[in-house]
Amino acid sequence: MAHSQNTASFKEANKKYVENFPEAQGALTSPPLKRIAVVTCMDCRLDPFAHLGLLPGEAHVIRTAGGTAEALRSLIISQRVLGTNEIAVFHHNDCGMTEYDTFRLRTQIWNEAPKDPDGNISVEVSTALEAINFKPMGRLDGSVKADVKFLREHPLILYGESITGWEYDVKTGEITLVNVDDD
């Protein structure tokens, strides 16, 4: 069995969660009741259910290392298979994901990889490194607008007029609606 520092705490916390699990929650189905998909960062300080007042069953929550483009497949499935008709895109300040750039991350991975006697990394690591696209992250300013614009203009995304853009402040917990139509 794999070793994990967090297995015991997950099991203990979940035991209490199950004891208090409401019967009505167990009867919920997969199409989100509020027909919305929330796209936000994987950042450890963000708890979208809490800061948006969402309840289980109400919304899809898509979280990645900051990339809206990466959420595209999930959003299309959310709309076409599970009937959502709104998207809310959240960015936040002090994002750790903005501290790297693609070149720096590739160099870091190369430096950290095991080397053969000639100082070369393995073909497996080299091939995987070439194959992956570490899209550079934009800064908070302007990036919410760009993400909303990207989704609105995408040929496979529906309901463009109900896509909203938001900023979340990790220092205060406050969300702010961004006027994405203002140039």
Name which of residues 108 to 147 contact its own copies (CB under 8 A): 108-109, 112, 122, 124-125, 127-129, 132-135
Whether 83 and 35 have beta carbons less than 8 Å apart is answered as yes
Per-residue binding letters, 49-88, with its own copies (x by CB under 8 A): xxxxxx-xxxxxxxxxx-x--xxxxx-xxx-xxx---x-x
Query: Which of 68, 95, 141, 150 forms a contact with its own copies (CB under 8 A)?
Result: 95
44 labelled as ligand-binding? no
Q: Under rule CB under 8 A, which residues in 10-39 are in contact with its own copies?
A: 10-14, 16-18, 21, 25-26, 28-37
Size of interface with its own copies, in residues (CB under 8 A) = 105
60 labelled as ligand-binding? no
Q: Is 103 in the site for its own copies (CB under 8 A)?
A: no
> Which residues is 164 bridged to in the sheet?
88
How big is the CA angle at 99 (ends 97 and 101), to the nearest 5 degrees?
90
- Per-residue burial over 60-91, b = 16 or more CB atoms within 10 Å of its CB, e = otherwise: bbbbeebbbeebbebbeebbeeeebebbbbbb
With CA atoms as reference, report the closest residue to 52 among 179, 162, 174: 174
Nearer residue to its own copies within complex by CB, 77 or 146: 77
